[in-house]
Structure 1
Amino acid sequence: MDETDGPEGGDPACWLARVCADCGSFREELSLDHCQNCGAPLGDEERD
């Protein structure tokens, strides 16, 4: 199969906001204000 035979796929870039900046785990539940894995606070602001 040639690479041009099928549609391109992949995860949308907009999912980046669902990744914990501290541990990198994927945030399943958007209503939580902390990471389910490491407990880090989550918000819409940028973190350094």
Structure 2
Amino acid sequence: MLENSSVNLVWLFGPFAAYLVMLGVYYVWEGRREKRLRRRYEEAEHGR
């Protein structure tokens, strides 16, 4: 009985945990992308 409830908890919270991990990866990825774009924009503005 204990194994069954543990498996149910994994199926219940597993996708949520995966979603949170993917969300964190997305925010880190977008932060680096934004930093790179901002640096490129500032270089273009100062290069004028």
Q: Which TM-score tier does this pair reach, normalised by the shorter chain? A: under 0.3
Look at both structures and tell me which one has the larger radius of gyration over its CA atoms: 2
Tell me the TM-score normalized by structure 1.
0.24
Tell me the TM-score normalized by structure 2.
0.24
Which one has the bigger helix percentage?
2
